[in-house]
Structure 1
Amino acid sequence: MNQVRCTARWARRLRDDEGSAAIEAAIILPALIMFLCLAIAGGRITASGAKIDAAAQDAAREASIHRTAGAAQGAAQAAAAESLHDQGITCTSTSVAINTGGLNVPVGQMATVTATVTCTVHLSDLLLPLPGERTLTATSTSVVDLYRQRGEG
């Protein structure tokens, strides 16, 4: 009789689920946190890419409204820098390449100006607890007004 009670108590303990939820949480929780961090990292990088796109659009538009290639280059550089600053992007290195070939096309013909903005950002600047850097590049094209006077240079 004593042995039956002992066996029944032992069987109840084996079937008891106390503590199994804590073990499951300890196994699953780190994986879920890591997945959440990766999703946030991807979102931040995508959002920063969109901000670099906006800077390239601003630079191309600013370059397209100037009459000379020299003025367009300077204005595009300034517009890209201002756009990045306004959007809170801090680049460790920035380059703005402008193709102003469209400013040399005769008045009345279709012409475009293209801007390419490249920005290297620290991943920690994107509020990510990750070391390293990421280089983001965006290109945008803007149409030059058909009948706007164009200068040389």
Structure 2
Amino acid sequence: MIPSTPQQRRGRFRGDQGSEAIQAAIVTPLLIAFLCLAIAAGRLAVAGGKADAAAEDAARAATLARTEPAAESAAVDAATRSFADQGVRCARTDVDVDASGFTVPVGQVGYVTVTVRCTVDLSDLLLPGTPGARTLTSTFTSVVDVHRARQDT
């Protein structure tokens, strides 16, 4: 039977008063937590892209050098500069350079591979006060010019 008077209809819903407020109190913190996790995941992805850019810069700088020691030095400098330019503060930076492409005779293709590792505090990357650290790692390979003269090391 459907209540016909307004008083009967109001009495029917009287037990539901405040249920929307309780639902909002439960759902709102969950939505905020989900939003914070999404932002954190996005910032981690962007930081990974910055590590990729630093590895590319380091590999390209290494291929422009004439000798293996100069290539290693140029790669370290380029990676450090790239992280600084992008606003990434590394607690520790490791740059591994495989400059064996410089030993290839002129006229043959040689490659330089650079692996960059940057350990970043999560408090710098996500939210202030976040404990822990994350190591960003990226590898990039660049071609040494086939017709470029090379010096013996």
Corresponding position of 1:135: 135
Aligned to 2:125: 126
SS of equivalent to 2:17: coil
Give per-residue Cα distances to partners, 1:58-94, cap 9 Å, x unaligned. 0000001111001001111000000000000000110
Secondary structure of the structure 1 residue equivalent to 2:136:
strand
| SS of 2:16 mapped into structure 1 | coil
Deviation of 1:152 after TM superposition, in Å, equals 1.6
Q: Which amino acid aligns with 1:76?
A: A
1:38 counterpart letter in structure 2: L
| CA deviation vs aligned residue, 1:39-72 (integer Å, no higher than 9, x gap) | 1010000000000100000000000111100100
- Name the counterpart of 1:151: 151
Distance in 1 (alpha carbons) for counterparts of 2:92 and 2:105: 36
SS at match of 1:66: coil
109-118 or 16-25, which deviates more: 16-25
> For residue 4 of structure 1, what is the aligned residue in structure 2?
none
- CA shift, 1:127, in A, is 3.6
Tell me how far apart the structure 1 counterparts of residues 45 and 57 of structure 2 sit (CA, whole Å).
19
Structure 1 stretches lacking a partner, 5+ long: 1-7
Matches within 5 A, 1:4-15: 12=11, 15=14
Instruction: Give the match for residue 25 of structure 1.
Output: 24
Amino acid at match of 1:143: V
1:41 aligns with 2:40: yes
The corresponding residue for 1:99 is 98
After TM superposition, the structure 1 = structure 2 runs for residues 53-132 of structure 1, keeping only pairs within 5 Å, are 53-129=52-128, 130-132=130-132
Cα RMSD (Å) of the superposition?
A: 1.6
Cα separation, 1, equivalents of 2:117 and 2:12? 64
**TM-fit CA distance, 1:14:** 5.5
% identity of equivalent residues:
57
Q: SS at 1:71's partner residue?
A: helix
Please tell me the residue identity of whatever aligns with 2:44. I
TM-score (norm 2): 0.89
Counterpart-to-counterpart distance in 1, 2:71 and 2:134: 28
Question: SS state of the match for residue 113, structure 2?
Answer: strand
Distance 1:31 1:152 in 2: 63
Partner Cα distance (1:22, 1:120) in 2: 44
For residues 56 and 114 of structure 2, the distance between their equivalents in structure 1, rounded to whole angstroms, comes to 7
Note the residue ranges of structure 2 that are not aligned, 5 or more in a row.
Answer: 1-6
The number of residues matched between the two structures is 145
